[in-house]
Amino acid sequence: MGRKFFGTDGIRGETNTGAMTAEMAMRVAQAAGAHFRRGDHRHRVVIGKDTRLSGYMMESALVAGFTSMGVDVIMTGPLPTPAVALLTREMRADLGVMISASHNPYRDNGIKLFGPDGFKLDDDTEAAIEALIEQQPSLVPAAHIGRARRIEDARGRYIHAVKQSVSDDISFDGLKVVIDCAHGAAYQVAPSAIWELGAEIVTLGVDPDGTNINDGVGSTAIAAVQAKVIEEGADIGIALDGDADRLIVIDEKGQAVDGDQIMALIATRMAEKGELTGGGMVATVMSNLGLERHLAERGLSLERTKVGDRYVLERMRAGGFNVGGEQSGHMILLDHATTGDGTVAALRVLASLVREGRPASEVLHRFERVPQVLHNVRYAGGHPLEADSVKAAIADAEAELAEKGRLVIRPSGTEPVIRVMAEGDDEAQVEAVVTRICDAVREAAG
């Protein structure tokens, strides 16, 4: 049975509509509070947020919901998603909540939930919470209402933690780094962590006003950081998204480096040092075939999952892997974090620059990408992938690519979009295949 509220990464949507209202946030908190309220101890939840204007409204609604269920609330203020996961575990909380719509524009917001171990909830737990959302909550007596307070040292705790991901003998002295925080959750912590390790920093996207998050900056709008790297003559550029769980790197020539190349760098270096576990790494079906070939040449495996960092994480935990991620920039390094952490991944990349003493364009170019084409088709409603004409177009494409490439077609988990991706050694063939399928989807969708 499909989930009604939860998508691939929590609950997300346009603020004040559908499932993203203050009323709904309170109901989610009451349902989550009821689900995690076990035993006689004082229950507590950690709540963080990014810099969206609606974050205050959603935070207040969540506080009301949790306290009405007898759960104490600890508010951190603006903080990256991985920091909330970290503090949930460190503060022995029963659950954690991040208020963010990640790379989406400010009009959207979302609610991500973490269990007491700092990991995102599995499908069964989300399904149980969904069932409780639509039931009347059992509120606690007045004497047992939860308390709420803010903590002032959350940022410092997180900065200290991420710096531990770099060896004590590493200093970033001599590196000039442009860091773009997307006017988002990491606008203070990420520049501080990199500066404290010795780098000269140039900042972008560090002046949030509630409505400018991800607006022309960050990991999904990299033109600004690319230009700044060239203008400043920087060694490297770091671009995070709104909640800082995603990373895109820009080399000294202004060229973008995606998650596949970053994962290849981190995984192979760890393998050389005997630190890589699981015999390889985990990525999604969207990662480039070139990454798979690169790892295979070094005796390492690439296990693929469906799209979504939560599914990557589930496979990592099941298979004993400590490196995984997505081409889009989610990097999961389980030795240091329980979820994707753009700042931790950035520090590992900077450490590699120091270790190798070569330009970023050389250090980060680990393999030749196989030509890959990805097109998105937006639709108004219905189920275009179920149309016979679309199924026929897909079957023809699969037969044409056969052993020469891959085809991945999937609906987005957060918006009404069909993503059509193909890759193979013949770029013209790949482009033609994707175009035909997209045309079929558009026609079926009307």
Domains of the chain in start order, with CATH, are: 11-153 (3.40.120.10), 173-256 (3.40.120.10), 258-342+357-363 (3.40.120.10), 372-445 (3.30.310.50)
3-state secondary structure (DSSP) of residue 43: strand
Mean pLDDT lowest among 127-136, 155-164, 328-337, 414-423: 414-423
Q: What is the pLDDT of residue 149?
A: 97
Total number of residues shown for the chain: 446
pLDDT tens, residue by residue, 217-243 = 999 999 999 999 999 999 999 999 999
3-state secondary structure (DSSP) of residue 234: coil
Q: What is the pLDDT of residue 415?
A: 79
Q: Would you list the DSSP string of 119-183?
A: PBPPHHHHHHHHHHHTS---PPPGGG---EEE-S-HHHHHHHHHHTTS-TT---TT-EEEEE-TT
> Which one is predicted more confidently, 425 or 281?
281
Q: What is the pLDDT of residue 371?
A: 93
Q: How far apart are CA 280 and CA 294, in angstroms?
A: 11
How does strand 43-49 pair with strand 71-78? parallel
pLDDT band at 411 (very low <50, low <70, confident <90, very high): confident
How does strand 95-99 pair with strand 43-49? parallel
Q: How far apart are CA 187 and CA 203, in angstroms?
A: 9
Percent of the residues in the chain that have a pLDDT greater than 90, as a whole number: 89
Q: How far apart are CA 163 and CA 53, in angstroms?
A: 30
Checking if the pLDDT of 397 tops 60, the result is yes
Q: How far apart are CA 95 and CA 14, in angstroms?
A: 24
pLDDT tens, residue by residue, 42-64 = 999 999 999 999 999 999 999 99
Q: How far apart are CA 88 and CA 77, in angstroms?
A: 14
Percent of the residues in the chain that have a pLDDT greater than 70, as a whole number: 99
String of b and e for 381-396 (b: at least 16 CB within 10 Å)?
eeebbebeebeebbee
Q: What is the pLDDT of residue 2?
A: 57
Collect all residues with Cβ–Cβ distance below 8 Å to 160 and sequence separation of at least 6.
none
3-state secondary structure (DSSP) of residue 68: helix
Q: How far apart are CA 11 and CA 29, in angstroms?
A: 12
CB atoms within 10 A of CB 202: 18
Which residue type occupies 365? H
Checking if the pLDDT of 1 tops 70, the result is no
Q: What is the pLDDT of residue 39?
A: 82
> Which one is predicted more confidently, 187 or 37?
187
Question: For helices 81-90 and 154-163, what crossing angle results, to 10°?
Answer: 100
What is the enclosing helix (H) or strand (E) of 225? Answer: helix 223-232
The one catalytic residue among 54, 100, 102, 219: 102
Q: How far apart are CA 22 and CA 28, in angstroms?
A: 10
Catalytic site includes residue 167: no
Q: Which residues pair with 111 in a beta bridge?
A: 11, 99
Question: 3-state secondary structure string, 225-274?
Answer: HHHHHHHHCCCEEEEECCCCCEEEEECCCCCEECHHHHHHHHHHHHHHCC
Placement of tokens 């400010």 in the chain: 106
Q: How far apart are CA 43 and CA 67, in angstroms?
A: 10
Residue 32 backbone phi and psi in degrees, to 5:
-65, -40
CB atoms within 10 A of CB 215: 15
Which residue type occupies 356? E
Q: What is the pLDDT of residue 220?
A: 93
pLDDT tens, residue by residue, 81-114 = 999 999 999 999 999 999 999 999 999 999 999 9
Q: What is the pLDDT of residue 410?
A: 87
Checking if the pLDDT of 15 tops 80, the result is yes
What is the enclosing helix (H) or strand (E) of 113? Answer: strand 108-114
Start-to-end Cα distance in the chain: 27
pLDDT band at 177 (very low <50, low <70, confident <90, very high): very high
Q: Are 234 and 228 in contact (CB under 8 A)?
A: yes
Q: What's the whole-number mean pLDDT along residues 423-444?
A: 93
Ranges assigned E (strand) in 20-70: 43-49
Q: What is the pLDDT of residue 307?
A: 85
Q: What's the whole-number mean pLDDT along residues 20-34?
A: 97
Q: Tell me the pLDDT of the chain averaged across its residues.
A: 94
Q: How large is the greatest C-alpha to C-alpha distance in the chain, in angstroms?
A: 69
Q: What's the whole-number mean pLDDT along residues 398-414?
A: 85
